[in-house]
């Protein structure tokens, strides 16, 4: 695609017929391949590597290119054109020139005017092919010289036009479809704000008064991950290879997020996570190209622990109900470590398979233990089912319920009767608008657009997009290496929770951690007014020490 654009730019004509454009593109690609195949390495090293660069930049089209070459060659042979030698000769010359003096060549290689359009068919094709080869390669050579930085991921290929592309991966069907829908709404608001220079985006210093990103419009598409890692990776791959995504983001389960983070690292495209609370995301599975904003399990435990001890006293006995997957275990272990440090005892950790719908067997064990605090690690629909059933077992009459990580729609599924007096954390909660002015703007804009209040998944979507946009603007380039390095500098971006930044060593966001307490039904103002914000714990205080994260970030390139 890049070759095509350059070829057109080089010819300096905007009103060229489409058919000519298509033909020249094809011919230019064909010529590149000829160069690679026919120019001896020893004599034209520079040209060879430059041509390789062109080939690489059109890599996803490699097989189509070959097919095109075959088709064009066949057609041309049929009309009696000898395709092999003339283009090769011209290419070789123009390429050497291009590498030697790119800027001069750029101006010089526009020998064709619109009036040159040939009359004779054979002549037409011949001229088209030759010129295109010259133009295309000169263009590519110029680009190669201009961008002294080596291409990486979809840079610069994805940034050549007047817009850049961002891929949004949302769980629109499957068990996290509600969270995924909230995520989608957050992204759409964020990107429209970015393109229009409105909302919270306009309040970010580097983005204020600007529309789009580095003067380019940000295009996007939404794909449904179906709450499964396989479709998530499938759609993300398409965004990267077909849409030349310069960034992709989303996912609601840690499994999806970890899988997409690996893809981002492999393809060298920045990935901003959706919802993912597992320590692994920025721990053993951390990636250079992945940034996570949500509280990890360690932060949840460290923010919540002191409040639990303050509220319920020391010397309490806790029992856990944990889903049998890595997120569940990491949160349970973090909670155990934190509360035991503060003087609590752990009676038992009851592990249930994932997913489970009937928890009676597990709850019987819990109900008949001598614990006095019930810490439910279950998440999403499993969290709802297990908590409902625990209430039926009368567990909450004997024990204090704690839900360390309260999933997006858990309070809606359980109702305020159960949620009242329950401590927990969320990535963000709309009541924080009373403390943070940007949260207020965010809630207002979101309600204005979608007629409902945002949940924390929408906050993640907006914040992750904004912090990336800020980093791109400050780096002044879409080059992922520069953007990552800018993010790693640790210069804070002022967002809905005040200034936040990523830790360089593991790409976990250092951010305020809201501690919530369930409201009494009578105290609720409206249907989604479930919590009081008890505290907002500064992130610096509750970060897991870097050496304990077992994160080894892979290389930049």
Partner 1 sequence: MARARGAIVPLAMLVFLVAFPTLVGFAGGGVTLAARILVLGLFGLGVDLLFGFTGLLSFGQAAFYGTGGFVAGYLLIHHIVPSTILALAIGMLVAAVAGLVVGSLALRQVGVYFAMLTLAFSQLFYFLDNSPLRELTGGENGLPGVPRAEVFGIHFSSLQETYAFIAIVYFIGFVVMRRIVASPFGHVLRAILDNPIRAAAAGHDVYRYKLVAFTIAAAYAGLAGGLLGLFQGYLPPDMFTIDQSGQIIVMEVIGGPGTLVGPLIGATVWIYLSQVLQNIGAIGSLWKLVLGLVFVLLITGFRRGIAGGVSTFLQQWQRREPAPVPSE
Partner 2 sequence: MHLIEAQALNGLALGAVLSLVALGLTIVFGLLGFVNFAHGALFMVGAYAGWVVYSQTENFFLAMVAALVVTFIVGLVIERVLIRMYYRRPPEDQILVTYGLAIILVEIVRAIFTGVTRQMPTPAWAAGTVQLAGIFYPQYRLVLIVIAAVTLAILYVVLFRTRIGLIVRAGIDDALIVNILGVNVNRTFLLVFALGAAIAGFSGIVDAPLLAVNPDMGTDLLVQSFVVVVIGGVGSFFGAILGGLIAGEIISLTTAFAADYSSVALYAAMALVLIVRPQGLLGVEGRA
Determine which residue in the list 192, 381, 440, 505 makes contact with partner 2, applying CB under 8 A: 381
Determine which residue in the list 32, 170, 385, 543 makes contact with partner 2, applying CB under 8 A: 385
Residues 59-88 that bind partner 1 (CB under 8 A): 59-64, 67-68
Only segment of 189-197, 235-243, 336-344, 494-502 that touches partner 1 (CB under 8 A): 235-243
Only segment of 194-202, 224-232, 311-319, 529-537 that touches partner 1 (CB under 8 A): 224-232
Which segments of 325-449 are extended strands (E)?
345-352, 373-376, 400-405, 423-425
β-strand pairing of 493-495 with 498-502: antiparallel
Interface with partner 2 includes 77 (CB under 8 A)? no
Q: Which two tokens stand for residue 80?
A: 């009696």
- Cα 378–Cα 383–Cα 386 angle in degrees, nearest 5: 100
Backbone Cα Rg of the chain: 28
Least Å distance, CB 353 to partner 2, is 6
Interface with partner 1 includes 233 (CB under 8 A)? yes
CB of 386 closer than 8 Å to CB of 363: yes
**Residue 427 binds which of partner 1, partner 2, none (CB < 5-8 A, kind-dependent):** none
Residues 204-233 that bind partner 2 (CB under 8 A): none
Interface with partner 2 includes 450 (CB under 8 A)? no
CB of 216 closer than 8 Å to CB of 162: yes
d(CA 286, CA 275): 15
Which residues in 144-173 are b (16+ Cβ under 10 Å) and which e? bbeeeeebbbbbbbbbbeebbbbbbbbbbe
Taking the CB of residue 388, how many other CB atoms lie within 10 A of it?
14
Interface with partner 1 includes 358 (CB under 8 A)? no
Cis peptide before 156 (omega within 30 of 0): yes
Site string for partner 2, 332-361 (x = CB under 8 A): ------------------xxxx-x-xx-xx
Least Å distance, CB 182 to partner 1, is 12
Least Å distance, CB 284 to partner 2, is 22
Residues 137-176 that bind partner 2 (CB under 8 A): 173-176
Task: Tell me the residue length of the chain.
Answer: 557
Phi, psi of 247 (to 5 degrees): -160, 150
Taking the CB of residue 242, how many other CB atoms lie within 10 A of it?
12
Determine which residue in the list 150, 365, 550, 557 makes contact with partner 2, applying CB under 8 A: 365
Q: Give CA separation, 295 vs 10, 279, 303, 406, 422, in Å.
A: 50, 9, 10, 12, 19
Instruction: Determine whether 366 is exposed, middle or buried from the number of CB atoms within 10 Å of its CB (0-12, 13-18, 19+).
Output: buried
**Residue 444 binds which of partner 1, partner 2, none (CB < 5-8 A, kind-dependent):** none
CB half-sphere exposure, 233, CA atoms < 13 A? 14
Residues 6+ apart with CB under 8 A from 186: 446, 454, 457, 458, 459, 460, 461, 462, 465
Interface with partner 2 includes 55 (CB under 8 A)? no
d(CA 186, CA 207): 18
Only segment of 98-106, 147-155, 221-229, 384-392 that touches partner 1 (CB under 8 A): 221-229
Determine which residue in the list 188, 223, 300, 467 makes contact with partner 1, applying CB under 8 A: 223
**Residue 513 binds which of partner 1, partner 2, none (CB < 5-8 A, kind-dependent):** none
Determine which residue in the list 20, 240, 367, 443 makes contact with partner 2, applying CB under 8 A: 367
Q: Can you give the binding site for partner 2, defined by CB under 8 A?
A: 173-181, 324, 350-353, 355, 357-358, 360-362, 364-365, 367-368, 380-382, 384-385, 388-389, 391-394, 397, 409-410, 412-415, 417
Residue ranges that bind partner 1, judged by CB under 8 A:
59-64, 67-68, 172-173, 177, 181, 221-224, 226, 228-230, 233-235, 237-238, 241-242, 253-255, 258-259, 262-263, 266, 280, 285, 324-326, 353-354
């Amino acid at each position: 695609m890049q070759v095509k654009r350059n070829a057109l730019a080089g010819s300096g004509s905007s009103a060229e017929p489409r058919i000519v454009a298509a033909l020249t593109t094809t011919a230019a690609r064909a010529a590149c391949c000829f160069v690679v195949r026919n120019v001896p390495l020893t004599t034209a090293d520079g040209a060879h590597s430059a041509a390789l660069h062109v080939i690489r930049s059109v890599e996803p089209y490699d097989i189509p290119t070959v097919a095109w070459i075959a088709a064009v060659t066949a057609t041309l042979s049929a009309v009696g054109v000898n395709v092999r030698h003339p283009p090769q000769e011209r290419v070789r010359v123009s390429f050497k020139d291009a590498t030697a003096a790119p800027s001069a060549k750029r101006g010089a290689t526009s020998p064709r005017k619109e009036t040159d359009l040939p009359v004779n068919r054979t002549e037409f094709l011949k001229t088209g092919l030759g010129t295109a080869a010259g133009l295309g390669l000169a263009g590519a050579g110029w680009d190669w010289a201009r961008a002294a930085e080596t291409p990486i991921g979809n840079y610069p290929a994805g940034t050549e036009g007047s817009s850049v592309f961002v891929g949004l991966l949302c769980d629109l069907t499957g068990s996290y479809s509600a969270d995924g829908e909230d995520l989608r709404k957050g992204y759409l608001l964020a990107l429209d704000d970015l393109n229009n220079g409105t909302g919270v985006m306009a309040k970010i210093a580097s983005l204020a008064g600007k529309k789009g990103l580095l003067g380019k419009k940000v295009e996007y598409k939404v794909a449904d991950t179906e709450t499964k890692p396989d479709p998530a990776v499938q759609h993300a791959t398409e965004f990267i290879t077909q849409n030349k995504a310069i960034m992709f983001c989303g996912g609601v389960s840690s499994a999806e997020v970890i899988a997409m983070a690996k893809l981002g690292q492999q393809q060298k495209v920045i990935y901003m996570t959706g919802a993912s609370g597992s320590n692994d995301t920025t721990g053993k599975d951390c990636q250079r190209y992945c940034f996570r904003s949500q509280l990890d399990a360690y932060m949840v435990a460290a923010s919540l622990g002191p409040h639990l001890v303050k509220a319920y006293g020391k010397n309490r006995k806790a029992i856990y109900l944990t889903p049998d997957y890595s997120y569940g275990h990491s949160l349970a272990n973090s909670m155990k470590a934190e509360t035991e440090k503060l003087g609590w005892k752990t009676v038992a950790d009851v592990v249930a398979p994932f997913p489970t719908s009937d928890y009676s067997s597990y709850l019987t064990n819990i109900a008949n233990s001598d614990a006095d605090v019930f810490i439910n690690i279950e998440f999403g629909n499993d969290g709802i089912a297990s908590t409902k059933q625990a209430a039926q077992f009368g567990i909450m009459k004997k024990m204090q319920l704690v839900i360390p990580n309260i999933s997006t729609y858990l309070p809606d599924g359980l109702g305020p009767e159960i949620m009242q007096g329950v401590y927990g954390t969320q990535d963000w909660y709309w009541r924080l608008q009373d403390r943070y002015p940007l949260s207020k703007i965010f809630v207002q804009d979101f309600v204005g657009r979608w007629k409902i209040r945002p949940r924390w998944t929408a906050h993640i979507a907006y914040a992750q997009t904004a912090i990336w946009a800020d980093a791109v603007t400050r780096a002044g380039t879409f080059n992922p290496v520069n953007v990552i390095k800018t993010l790693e500098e640790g210069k804070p971006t002022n967002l809905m929770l005040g200034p936040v930044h990523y830790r360089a060593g593991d790409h976990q966001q250092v951010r305020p951690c809201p501690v919530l307490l369930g409201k009494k039904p009578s105290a609720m103002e409206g249907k989604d007014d479930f919590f009081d914000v008890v505290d907002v714990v500064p992130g610096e205080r509750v970060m897991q020490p870097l050496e304990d994260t077992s994160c080894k970030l892979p290389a930049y390139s």
